[in-house]
Amino acid sequence: MSDRCESSVLVLREDGHWSVHTAIGRLRAALESGRPVGNELADILAAAGRGTQLNVADASQDSRFSPNLTKSTDIHALLSIPLTLEKETVGVLTFIRHTADVTFDDGQNGFAGRLGVLISLALQNANNYELARRTLADSRALGRVSARISQSLELDQILESALDEVLTANTGAVEDVKSGGKKCKKARGFLLGQVMQKTKGQANPKVVSQILAEKLG
């Protein structure tokens, strides 16, 4: 169809508003020249083509197109197809002819309809891929968090077991710490070292010291 139409324009809905996303051909020059027709054209195409195919033989005779718009863009005939995502129209692709008395025939109308279906299918596939990618990323992140929680719980159990074993096996050092005498500091350091050895260095020394202080004073 590109060899038979003179312009094409893609209108998309972004942040709740319809706007011209891409324009090709003579229409592009009209939109880039500063003429305030882009938003008006986007709204008309979105409203007219939302959910249904639109074939306009003469825009100048269609009340939806203002004289200013048709004069500024030199639009004569147009063929619009809606682009849908999950049964909702997210865009409108429009083919335009500027030459008078030249319209789009039934064959081109049918081709445009099939093209709209294919583009909508591509949009759906892209959306499904993005959802799957995000779900996978979220699952991986959740898996990493779960693993860290499990490791933390496992380490807590190891630390608790190591503390019980060290305190049970070293009653002399325990008494030295509790007495608060000259041997207290050395005994506390000894017990800390034994716990670190039992946990193979995995425990946090500050945490171990805090727990010893809570248990022994």
Q: pTM for the complete prediction?
A: 0.53
For residues 217 and 51, what is the distance between their CA atoms, to the nearest angstrom?
Answer: 76
pLDDT at 25: 83
Task: Give 80-117 pLDDT, tens digit per residue.
Answer: 888 877 777 878 888 888 887 777 888 887 888 778 77
Q: Are 90 and 83 in contact (CB under 8 A)?
A: yes
156-to-151, 160, 161, 192, 202 alpha-carbon distances in Å:
9, 6, 9, 16, 10
Domains of the chain: 7-104 (3.30.450.40), 149-216 (1.10.10.410)
For residues 17 and 101, what is the distance between their CA atoms, to the nearest angstrom?
Answer: 33
DSSP class of 14: E
For residues 50 and 93, what is the distance between their CA atoms, to the nearest angstrom?
Answer: 11
Q: Are 79 and 114 in contact (CB under 8 A)?
A: no
Please return the burial class of 116, using the count of CB atoms within 10 Å of its CB with bins 0-12, 13-18 and 19+.
Answer: buried
For residues 174 and 188, what is the distance between their CA atoms, to the nearest angstrom?
Answer: 8
Q: What is the average per-residue pLDDT within 55-72?
A: 85
Task: Give 1-52 pLDDT, tens digit per residue.
Answer: 444 567 888 888 777 777 788 888 888 877 776 555 667 777 777 775 566 7
SS3 51: coil
Task: Give 134-172 pLDDT, tens digit per residue.
Answer: 777 766 765 665 555 555 556 667 777 888 888 888 888
